[in-house]
A and B are shown apart, each in its own frame.
Chain A
Amino acid sequence: MISLAVYFRLFDRLFLNPGSLFPTIFNYKPPHLVDPQIITAISNSLDYCVILILTIAITKNYLTIKGVTDPTFPLIINFSISFLLIILNFQWQSRPIIHFIIFFITIILISESYYWLDHFFHKKIAPYGYIHLGWATLIILLTIGVNMALPLQALQGSYLDFFSSSFFVHFLGIMLVAVLIPILPWLGISIPTEMYNNMTDLIPISTNLNAIYQSVNATVPYPENLYSVFATFSYLGGAGSTLAISIWLLFNQRKKYQKLGWFSIIPSIFNNNQLLLFGLPIMLRPIMLLPMILSSTIGSLIGFTAIKLNILKPAIFNVPMNSPRLLLGFLASQNHWPSLLAVLLVFAVTLLIYQPFLKYVTKEVN
C-alpha cells in the first residue's frame, strides 16, 4: 500500500504535473489524461489508506502483545476514528501534511484504554455490551472534541518567514537544522515543506539569485545558507541522507531487505524515503536515529566548510522541480564539477556511516 502511494505520487510529480521534472527538462507538454485535482485527490486518498492500514496493524499488534484475546472491537473503533479524522481533515487540492505520530499516539492511547477496560472487566462482562459501547462513545466524542479544538490543519503552517531569518545563514543555524530535521521524520512528524520543496522562496536565497542576475561577477551576499549547504549536502535521498540505506539494502543477504532496496531506490533518488521509514523501519527505532543525525550533520559540515573556504561555488539557481539532490549542487552552481565531486564524497561518507548500523539492524532477530 505504501509502495502504491509513494509510486503514484512520484509518477505524478515526475511526469504528469506540468512543472514537474521530465516535462521541464525534455520540454514536452504532459498529456492531460485526467484533471490534475483528481490526481491530487487520488494521491491523497492513497496516503490516507496507508494511515488506515497502519491503524489496523498497530492496534492488532499492540493489543495482542498486551494479552487481549479478541481485539476486534477496538480495531473497529480505531479504524472508525482514523477514518473520521481523515474525513474531517481531508484535502483535495494540495498534498496533506500528515504527522503520523499524532495518529500513532491516538491509536496507542485508545488501545491502552481498551486494554485497561478489558483488564478491569475481564470475563465479567459480555463482549460488545453496554460498557464497551459506552467506552466507544466516550472515545469517539473525545477524539472529535480534541480535533475541533485543535484541527490537524492548524498544524500545517508556513515557516517561510521563520527560515528566512538571518540566523539560518550562519553556521549555528544551519547546523541546528542539520541536526534537528532528521529527528522529525524519525518521530513521525512531517518536515516543513520549505525544507524539501525548492528553497528559493526563502529571502536569503532569492537575494543571492537577484545579486547574481544583476552582475555575473557579483559577490553573493549569503553564500552559506540552507539551500547551498543543507539541501545540497544533507538531504541525499530525504532527511538523514537515507539514499545510502537503499544502496546497502540492494546488496543485503536477506531477500526481504533486498526487495526493500529494489522498491526504495527510485523514490530515494527523488528524495522520498517514506518506504524506508515504514519498511525498514526507521521511524521510532532508536538505533537508526544516530546515523541519520550523523549523516545530515557531517554533510552540512563538509558543505559549509568547502563553501566558506571558497573551494566550492554555492548553489544559487533554481533547478527543475523534484530534481535528485545528488545533482543539486552541480546544477544549481551552473555545472560546477567540484560541487558534484563534493556531493559524491559526502554520499560516500554516508555509506560508511550507515553500514555498521544496517548490518546490526538487518541481522536483528524479531
Chain B
Amino acid sequence: MRTSKFILFLSTILLIVIGIFSSIWMTKQHHNDHAIQTAKISPVIFIPGSSATINRFDDLFTSINKQSKGTPATPVLKLQVNKDGSFTYNGKLATNNRQPFIVIGFEDNSDSYDNIKRQAKWLASAMNALQQTYHFRDFSAIGHSNGGLDWTEYLENYYNINDFHIKTLMTLGTPYNFSESSTTKQTAMLTDLMDNSDNLPTDLTVYSVAGSEDYSDDGIVPVQSVLSGKYIFQKQVKKYTQITVSGDNAEHSNLPENPEVVQLIQEYILNNKSNDNHSRRR
C-alpha cells in the first residue's frame, strides 16, 4: 500500500510539472501563432543559383524599384545560411511594407544533387527562423537556376501547410534534369522530384521561365532540362505555366535582369491581386 501511495504521489507531481511547463509553452505558442495569423507581410523570397551569392539579385531589385517610381524602395533582407547551420543577416525589413524581398543564400553553393538536398534542409531551417522573427505565413518564391531546385525540394520534403502558405513559385532557368538535353533520359534528381511530386501544394501556381540564346540552351542549361519541370508540376499544382524568353539578356546568368523576366515578376508576383488574399490556417 505504501508503494501505491508513493506511485500516486509521484504521478501527481509529474502532472503538476507537466501542467506548469505546458502552460508556459501554451502562452508562448499562442502569442507566436497569433502574430503569424494576423501578420500583414507577405514577402517574396529569392534563392540564387550555384556559385552565386546573396547579392545576386541586386540588379533585379534596382530594376524593380526603378519601375515603381514614387514609391519607397522595397526593403531587402539577405540571409546567408552558413555551413554549420548558423545564419548571417544583412539588411532588415520595414514593418510598413507588405511585400518585402528576402534573399536566402548558402555559404556552400556548389553544384550537385547532394548539395541541393542539403540546401533544401537549410532552407527549411531558414524559413522557420524568419517566421519566428517576422511572423509571416504567406509568401511567394523565386529561384534562379539551382535556386529553383532548392524550392522544389523544399516544397516536396519540408513545406508544411499548417505553418506556411506559398502562393506562387517562379523558377528562372532551373535545370530540373541537370545538364541532360535528352527528353528521354532522366537523372536521379528528376526521378526523385517526380516521385515526390504528390507532396507539392495543390493550390500552388508555378511559372517556369527558360532562357534561350538559340532555342537549345541559355548558354549553360539546356532548354529541355528546364522544360522537364512539367513532369514534376503538371497535374500536381493548381497552375503550371512554361515561358521561354530569348534575345538579349536571355543568357543563363543574365536571366534575373532580363527585362521580360522583370515584367513577369511584376505581373505575376508583385502586382498579382490574388496574392493579397491572406490564407487561413487549415
Residues of A within 8 A of B (CB): 21, 24-27, 201, 206, 209-210, 213-214, 216, 247, 250-251, 258, 261-262, 265-266, 269, 317-320, 323-324, 326-327, 330-332, 334-335
Q: Mark B4-29, 1 if CB is under 8 A from A, else 0.
A: 10011001001100110111111101
Interface residue? B34 (CB, 8 A):
yes
Q: For residue A206, which residues in chain B have a CB less than 8 angstroms away from its CB?
A: 281-282
**Which residue of the partner chain, among A25, A201, A210, A262, contacts B4 with CB atoms under 8 Å?**
A262
Q: For residue A262, which residues in chain B have a CB less than 8 angstroms away from its CB?
A: 3-4, 7
Interface residue? B33 (CB, 8 A):
yes
Report yes or no: A21 in contact with B18, Cβ–Cβ below 8 A: yes
Other A-B pairs, 16, CB within 8 Å; known A213-B33, A331-B23? A21-B18, A25-B18, A25-B25, A213-B34, A213-B37, A213-B38, A251-B4, A265-B11, A269-B15, A317-B29, A317-B30, A319-B26, A324-B18, A327-B22, A330-B19, A335-B27
Report yes or no: B281 in contact with A320, Cβ–Cβ below 8 A: no
How many angstroms from the CA of A269 to the CA of B19 in the assembled complex?
A: 12
Report yes or no: B19 in contact with A327, Cβ–Cβ below 8 A: yes
Report yes or no: A214 in contact with B4, Cβ–Cβ below 8 A: no
**Which residue of the partner chain, among A24, A247, A332, contacts B8 with CB atoms under 8 Å?**
A247
How many angstroms from the CA of A216 to the CA of B8 in the assembled complex?
A: 38
Interface residues of chain A: helix, strand, loop or mixed (majority): helix
Q: Mark B263-282, 1 if CB is under 8 A from A, else 0.
A: 00000000000000000111
Q: For residue A209, which residues in chain B have a CB less than 8 angstroms away from its CB?
A: 281
A257 to B: closest C-beta gap in Å: 11
Interface residues of B in 167-201 (CB under 8 A from A): none
Q: Mark B22-55, 1 if CB is under 8 A from A, else 0.
A: 1111110110011001100000000000000000
**Which residue of the partner chain, among A210, A265, A269, A317, contacts B26 with CB atoms under 8 Å?**
A317
How many angstroms from the CA of A335 to the CA of B280 in the assembled complex?
A: 25
Query: Known: A258-B4, A265-B11, A334-B27. Contact between A210 and B22, CB under 8 A?
Result: no
Report yes or no: B281 in contact with A213, Cβ–Cβ below 8 A: yes
How many angstroms from the CA of A195 to the CA of B219 in the assembled complex?
A: 57
Report yes or no: B8 in contact with A320, Cβ–Cβ below 8 A: no
**Which residue of the partner chain, among B3, B14, B27, contacts A269 with CB atoms under 8 Å?**
B14
Chain B residue at minimum C-beta to C-beta distance from A14:
B18
Report yes or no: A324 in contact with B37, Cβ–Cβ below 8 A: no
Q: How many residues of B contact A (CB 8 A)?
A: 26
Query: Known: A265-B7, A317-B26, A331-B26. Contact between A251 and B18, CB under 8 A?
Result: no
Report yes or no: B19 in contact with A251, Cβ–Cβ below 8 A: no
How many angstroms from the CA of A332 to the CA of B27 in the assembled complex?
A: 10
Cβ contacts A to B, 14 pairs, < 8 Å: A24-B25, A25-B18, A25-B24, A213-B38, A214-B37, A265-B8, A269-B15, A317-B26, A319-B22, A319-B26, A320-B25, A324-B18, A327-B19, A331-B23
B282 to A: closest C-beta gap in Å: 6
Closest 10 CB pairs of A and B: A213-B37, A250-B4, A25-B21, A25-B25, A210-B280, A25-B22, A327-B19, A331-B26, A335-B23, A213-B34
Q: For residue A261, which residues in chain B have a CB less than 8 angstroms away from its CB?
A: 4, 7
How many angstroms from the CA of A209 to the CA of B1 in the assembled complex?
A: 45
Report yes or no: B4 in contact with A327, Cβ–Cβ below 8 A: no
Q: For residue A334, which residues in chain B have a CB less than 8 angstroms away from its CB?
A: 26-27, 30
How many angstroms from the CA of A26 to the CA of B22 in the assembled complex?
A: 9
How many angstroms from the CA of A206 to the CA of B279 in the assembled complex?
A: 13
A261 to B: closest C-beta gap in Å: 6
How many angstroms from the CA of A2 to the CA of B34 in the assembled complex?
A: 42
How many angstroms from the CA of A319 to the CA of B24 in the assembled complex?
A: 11
Chain B residue at minimum C-beta to C-beta distance from A252:
B4
Q: For residue B3, which residues in chain A have a CB less than 8 angstroms away from its CB?
A: 258, 262
B154 to A: closest C-beta gap in Å: 18
Q: For residue A21, which residues in chain B have a CB less than 8 angstroms away from its CB?
A: 18, 22
Q: For residue B33, which residues in chain A have a CB less than 8 angstroms away from its CB?
A: 213
Q: For residue A331, which residues in chain B have a CB less than 8 angstroms away from its CB?
A: 19, 22-23, 26
Q: For residue A330, which residues in chain B have a CB less than 8 angstroms away from its CB?
A: 19, 23
**Which residue of the partner chain, among A26, A201, A266, A318, contacts B11 with CB atoms under 8 Å?**
A266
B71 to A: closest C-beta gap in Å: 29
